[in-house]
A and B are shown apart, each in its own frame.
Chain A
Amino acid sequence: MTLSKLRVGQRACIADVCGEDALVHRFSAMGLRVGREACLIRRSWLGGALQVRIGGTHLIMRRADADRITIQLPE
């Protein structure tokens, strides 16, 4: 399951970030890296951006990019 499939308010642990090195690097610098907990805060209209919270940081990202991030739901 990927980050974009989370329900609003749901939390999960990042299990994998797939993409070229530069992208993984950049995501990692913004807090999107394996092992961190992500929480979906809201979705924008018409398949638009997502708002995600990682620790104390709120990020906005495109749904397609959120699809590169595989998550593991807590048991």
Chain B
Amino acid sequence: MRRIALLGMPNTGKSTFFNRLTGASARVGNWPGVTVDLLAAKVLLGAEMVEVVDLPGIYDLHGFSDDEAVVRRFFENNPADLVCVILNSTQLDNQLALALQIRDLGLETVVLLNMADEADKLGIRIDTDTLSDRLGCPVAMISAKRGHGFPQAKDILARRLHEAQPVTLDALRRDMEANAAVTDRAEALVGETVRMPSVLVRKITERLDRLLLHPVLGLPLFFLAMFLVFQAVYTLGTPIQEGVAWLLGGFKHLALQPLQPLLPHLVYGLLVDGLYDGLGTVASFVPVIILFFFMMALVEDTGYLSRAAFLTDSLMARFGLDGRGFVMLLMGFGCNVPALMGTRIMRSRPLRLLTMLIIPFSLCSARLQVFLFLTTAMFTPRQAPLVLFSLYMVSFAAAFGSAFLVRGRLHSTEPFVMELPPYRMPTVRHVFLRGWHEVHHFLRRATNFIVLGVTLVWVLTHFPQAATPGGPGTLAGMLGHWLEPVLHPIGIGAQMAVILVFGFVAKEIVLGSLVAMTGLSGAALTQYLGHQMDWVQAYSFMLFVLLYTPCLSTVATMRSESRSLAFTTFSVLWALGLAWIVSFGFYQALRLLGY
């Protein structure tokens, strides 16, 4: 199958174009010579099925960052029949050089000038015919977000691919070494083909920035915005979650319980009390997670995250990090795994490692699920959102505190320079696609782990059969008993200790395990927990869950991204140690105070 590679600088709408071209069908794949995962999808283009690969956004084909090396190695090891270079029409003065670099490699190319609508508004005029002539490849204007020019762009890609000659990698590898200076040629070409107004005024953006990047008000406004996002997720999500739980309970009552006399006791126990209830409890929180991902996609799409980097950089500098690290930390609130991968934009290894060390402290959506359940179970409706907010604060504190303690060993001199895009109105379609993409990944990762984990917990808590389910005589009871000396000082009992062991695999399992272990769900489980723990114990448990290793996927990603087993081990031990110390301090202090 022939292959099209998408290439462009960060913030050019390359992924938007990829999503529009491929729908939601993209899969993560492995590529020869490239150690990282790249998104790819198969698409019908003209009469031919082709594979489209979304390469990481880079500034310079011959640059020195990890992402830039990934792109080079991709081209050297995987024949690309056609390279689709996506450039931001409003920034051709900076971006055209990238297209020239690809042309210099002799690769078949199509250049798409994205954000045509923005360029038009700013009064930028581009002579695409001359540009196409000089570059020796088709050039077309599009708006990937709104879909303008998209059918034409697809036609051009199909036609060009049809005419494309097979690539010989040997010649390409030779050309890759000849690092020709292209900036002068690019400048001359821009001078010839692009007419820009002498002053580009971003009126709305400038007005918004005057307020949102205000020296004094900027940061408080940012935290207020974040608080509102979390508050919205909580208020909108809770009723939906209760609705789903009600539906699942109804289904069990009507369709599953009549099966009880027909099935062997053990089989019914595993399938219904274990798997169905366990998965059901987890599933009832999925709407909240979906809502969360949509909100994050919305915030990300507006361009506000880059503002966060600007506002927080001076603060982050004190912790040996930079503004990009703060943005990664925020991304981590969705899921730590993509946030860890996002650190590839950092060229300096110490800076990257330090950022990777703190990302696992981001309160990700899987942990949010556990906290939503426990805060609702253990606190009043008025207290619950505040308790949740306090956990977010602890999450930040753990991240910054860790960075502060380790920064001396991971000192970096990497310059901090990044683009500040104008504010953009997110389109429903795009937010939906992005959000859906994240949800899809979350569900795929979660379901495998959850089914396995829940089954295992059920087995551990129901064998040997002679013992009371979930009691001290079961396998789980014994495991809990061994862990008691370590976990008793932080207020965690034998039963919850077993949950923590499973939570190491993935936090998505925690709730399902709780259900499988106790054989209870819904209100009965809430009541049971209220009897088992007081609020101090519950909070100590949540602190531990927040701070210790988020999941095996995070550990695996950490290992592959850092390429260091020693660092990965250090990160896991650091998190475990910190979790224990913080929970211990909290639990003992409150007990001393008489709570």
Contacts and interface: CB of A to CB of B under 8 A. Distances in A.
Interface of A: 19, 22-23, 25-33, 42-49, 51, 53-62, 64-65, 68
Given A26-B65, A56-B94, A62-B417, 16 more contacts: A23-B415, A26-B59, A26-B63, A30-B419, A45-B215, A45-B314, A48-B311, A53-B200, A56-B91, A56-B92, A58-B202, A59-B417, A60-B306, A60-B313, A60-B419, A62-B416
Interface of B: 59-60, 62-65, 90-94, 97, 122, 124, 183, 196, 200, 202, 209, 213, 215-216, 218-219, 306, 309-311, 313-315, 317, 322-323, 347, 415-422
Contact of A62 (B92, B122, B313, B419): B313
Given A45-B314, A49-B310, A60-B418, A26 B213 contact: no
Contacts of B420: 51, 58-60
Contacts of A56: 90-94, 122, 124, 196, 200
Given A48-B314, A55-B196, A60 B417 contact: yes
B90 to A, nearest CB: 5
Given A22-B64, A60-B309, A30 B209 contact: no
Nearest to A21: B64
Say what secondary structure dominates the interface of chain A: mixed
B196 A58 contact: no
Contacts of A58: 202, 419-422
Contacts, number: 120
A47 B63 CA distance: 29
A26 B418 contact: no
Given A45-B215, A60-B420, A65-B417, A29 B310 contact: no
A57 B91 contact: yes
The 5 closest A-B pairs by CB, nearest first: A48-B314, A29-B60, A29-B59, A65-B415, A55-B93
A33 B184 CA distance: 11
A28 B311 CA distance: 24
B161 to A, nearest CB: 28
B347 A55 contact: no
A69 to B, nearest CB: 10
Contacts of B94: 29-31, 54-57
A44 B314 contact: yes
B323 A49 contact: yes
Given A26-B63, A26-B415, A31 B314 contact: no
18 contacts: A23-B415, A26-B417, A32-B417, A42-B209, A44-B213, A45-B219, A55-B94, A55-B196, A55-B200, A56-B124, A56-B200, A59-B419, A60-B420, A61-B417, A61-B418, A62-B313, A62-B317, A62-B416
